[in-house]
Amino acid sequence: MRRLHAVDDAAQALGLFAGQKATDAMALVPELATDEADPAGDAAALAALALWCVRFSPAVAADPPDGLLIDITGVAHLWGGEAAMLDDLLARMARQGIPAQGAVAGSAGAAWALARCGGGRDVVPPGAEAEWLAPLPVTGLRLEPQTAAQLLRLGLVRVGQLAAIPRGQLARRFGARVLTRLDQALARAEEALAFRRPATPWFARLAFAEPISAPEDLARASRDIAACLCARLVAEGQGAGRFELAFHRLDGRAERLAIGLSLPGRSPDAVTRLFAPMLERVDPGFGIEVVTLAADRVEPLPERQASLAAIGEVAREDGVAPLVDRLANRLGEGRVWRAEAWPSHIPERAVVRRPPLSAADGRAWARDRPRPVRLFARPEPIEVTAPIPDDPPIVFRWRGTLRRVRRAEGPERLAEEWWRRPPGETAPADARDYYRVEDETGARYWLFRDRLYGGEVAPKWWLHGLG
Amino acid sequence: MPASSTLAALRAEIAALERGARPASAVIALGDPRVDGRLPGGGLALGAWHEFAGEGLELETAAESAAFVVRLARPLTGRGELVWVLRRDDLHAPGLAGLGFPAERLIQVCARDEAEALAVMEDALRTRGVAAVFGEVEAVDLTAGRRLQLACEQGSATGFVLRRRPFGGRGRADASSAAATRWTVAPAPSEPAPGEPGLGAPRWRVGLERCRGGRTGAWIFEAAEDDDAAHPFRLVAELGDRDVAAPERLRLAG
C-alpha cells in the first residue's frame, strides 16, 4: 500500500498528513502532486545540513529523519545571545528554502519537543524546562507510537499531566522508557548524542560583513582568528594539540584545514605559520562569509618560567617541537616518527612507531642479541650453498653477485609467536634460523633460513638485514 | 721556528675568516693522534657538516657507513635532539640501540624526494636544541652544501650526510662539495682473537678524502668492543694511498 511520506504546508492546510493512504489523499485532493520518497537522499541531505551547521557550533548531531541537534554550550555569545543565534540559524535556513522550526533549551529532549510542538522559536531559560514543557502534548516526548497512543487513550494529553504522576506508577504502567524520555526532556537525565564532533568550548568565529576571497584576506583572517582563540587559551592556562580552521563559503560549502601539534601549544604565530602554506589550497568560490577555528585535544598548559639553570639549553617547546610540527604538517604525520621497542622477538615486530615527541614508555631495547643497522621491509631471496643442515652458507648470491662467507655466527632460531598459531598446532615449521655472516670484504649480512630441512617444503634462504 | 709559527698564525686567521665571527667550535676526537692530528682542531668539527660515501652496492644500501657514523656521532647523543632524514625507511632501531645509540629518541623523517630530504636537513640543522642531523641523500651540490653549512652555523647542530641512492640506478656526477670533511667508508674483514669463534669487532677501511684546513689520510678502524668506551674506534692500521685502492683491484682480478 502506498502512503504519504511527507507533506508540505499547503498540503497540510488541505487536511493531508504523513502516513495517509495515497488513494485517500488523491480522493481528497485530485490535483495532488506526489513524488517518490527517497529516504537515502533525505539522509544525505540531512548529513550535509549537519555539516553546514558546524558554522554555529562544532557539536552537531543529525537526528534522523528530519531533525538536527546542536550543542551551543559556550558559543551563543558570539551571536549576542541564544535567541539571536536561533533567529540567525532559522533565517539562513529560510533563505536556502528549508522550512525549519527551532528551539533552545537546557536538554536535547526539551528542545526537540519545543521545536516540534512549541510556540515557535522558544528559548527556555535554564532550569525552566518543566514549566515550559507542561502544556505540550505527550507526543513531544519522543515516545513509541503505541505508548503515545495508550497515553492519549487514558486522557494523558499534556506532559504536565504525565509529570504529575508518581514515578513508580508511571514506570509500572507504561514501562521505564517513558520515564527515561520524561527525565531527558526535563534535563534530569543525561542523553548521549552522536555528535559529528565532540562539543568544544574552544571555538572562535569571525563573520564578515562583505564576503572575502583574496589570499591576503584569508591569511589575515586566519591570523586574527588564531589570535582570538589563543588569547582565550592563554587566559585559562590551556594548550591545544590540534586546530581545525574552516572557511564557510557563501554557497554553504566549507573548506577545512587541520594542523596537529606535537606538544600542546597556544602561540598564535605558530598556528598561523602552520596554516599559511595550506591557504593556497582553499577555494573561496563566490566568497567566504564566516571563518571558524576549533581547538581540539585541549589540556592544561602552565605558563613556563625560564629557569636560571637551563638558560644555555633550549626547551623542547622552543626548539624541536616547532620543527616536528612543520615537518609533520608538510610531509604528513606518517612520515615523522620515533621508534620504540615492542616486546616481540620477531625482528620486524620488535619496533613500533610513535609520534616523535610522545612520552617514552620506558621499555628497554633487547640488546643481548646483535641486530643489523638496516632491516629490509621484505627479506630478499638469495641462492645459497650450505654444506649440511644447521650450518651457515659458504657462498651465497645476492643481487647477482656471488659472496663468499668468511666468518659466520649462529644460528639464532626465532619461531613464530605461539599465540599467533591456531590452537592445537604445535609444529615448529615456521621457525627461522638467523645467521650473521661476514664476506671477504668485511661486509656484514643478516641471513635466515625459512623452515627446517627434512620438512615437506624445502627450506629457502633470505637476506633480511645489513650492517 | 719563526717561519712556521707565522704560517700557523696565518692559517688560524684564515680559518677564523672562513668560520665567520664564531669562536672555534668543539670537535669530536677520534682518540688517536694519527687521525686527530690531520683534522683541524684535533677532531671532527662540530657545527659543520660531514660527508660519508661508500662504493658499489654500499652506495645503495648505506649500511656500513650508517654503522660507522652512528658510532662516530655517539658523543653528540647526550647534547640534544637527534634527527635522521631518510628516503627509504629501513633503519632498524634495535640495531642502532645495540651500538649504544639512543634509538628511542631519534626523530626519523622519511622524505619523498631528494630536494625534500635536503630541505628537511637544512630545517633541522637550523633548529635550536638539535645536536646532530643525519641525512641520506644522493649528492649535495655546491649551493645545497653552502645552505647546509649556513644552517649549521645558525643552529648548533652537526650534520652527517650519508651519500646514498636508495633505489639504485645511475648516480649523479660527483659534484664539488662544501662539506667540512669528506670520507669514504668501506667494510674491512674483522680479525677476532685467535681461537674465538664467530665474528670479530667490525672494521672499516676509512679514507679522509677532503678536509678543509687539514690533511687527508686513510686508515683501518676497528669498533671499540665496549659500547661505553671513551672513543668509539681503535686505529688498527694507517694506510698509504696505494693501500686504499689495492684490495678492490685484487678482487676484480681474482
The CA-to-CA distance between both ends of chain B, in Å, stands at 51
Q: In chain A, which residue's Cα lies nearest the Cα of B188?
A: A442
The stretch A109-122 carries a mean pLDDT of 87
Tell me the pLDDT band of B237, cut-offs 50, 70 and 90.
confident
DSSP state of B36: H
Inter-chain contact A408–B198, Cβ cutoff 8 Å? yes
The interface residues of chain A toward chain B in range 305-364, judged by CB-CB distance below 8 A, are 313-316, 318-320, 322-324, 326-327, 331, 335-341, 347, 350-351, 356, 360
Best mutation target among B72, B88, B91, B104 (most A Cβ atoms within 10 Å) is: B104
Q: What is the pLDDT of residues A285-297, one digit of tens each?
A: 889 999 999 998 8
Q: What is the pLDDT of residues B1-26, one digit of tens each?
A: 567 788 888 877 777 666 554 444 58
**pLDDT attached to residue A212:** 92
Of B67, B109, B130, Cβ closest to residue A331: B109
The pLDDT > 70 percentage for chain A reads: 93
pLDDT at A412 over 70: yes
What grid cell was written down for A13? 492546510
Inter-chain contact B108–A339, Cβ cutoff 8 Å? yes
Best mutation target among A373, A378, A401 (most B Cβ atoms within 10 Å) is: A373
Tell me the pLDDT band of B247, cut-offs 50, 70 and 90.
very low
Which strands sit side by side in the sheet containing A238-249, from one edge to the other?
A203-212, A288-300, A238-249, A254-265
**Mean pLDDT, chain A, integer:** 85
Q: What is the pLDDT of residues A227-256, one digit of tens each?
A: 999 999 998 888 998 899 999 988 878 888
Inter-chain contact A375–B129, Cβ cutoff 8 Å? no
Which strands sit side by side in the sheet containing B158-163, from one edge to the other?
A351-354, A336-341, B107-110, B81-86, B130-137, B158-163, B49-53, B181-188, B203-211, B217-223, B233-239
Residue B130, min C-alpha distance to chain A (Å): 7
Q: Point out which residues pair with B136 in neighbouring strands.
A: B162
The stretch A94-99 carries a mean pLDDT of 86
CA–CA separation, A227 vs A466, rounded Å? 51
**pLDDT attached to residue B253:** 44
Inter-chain contact B111–A467, Cβ cutoff 8 Å? no
Coil/strand/helix, residue B134: strand
Residue B9, min C-alpha distance to chain A (Å): 31
pTM comes to: 0.70
**pLDDT attached to residue B251:** 47
Q: What is the pLDDT of residues A358-401, one digit of tens each?
A: 887 778 888 778 899 999 989 999 988 877 767 888 999 998 88
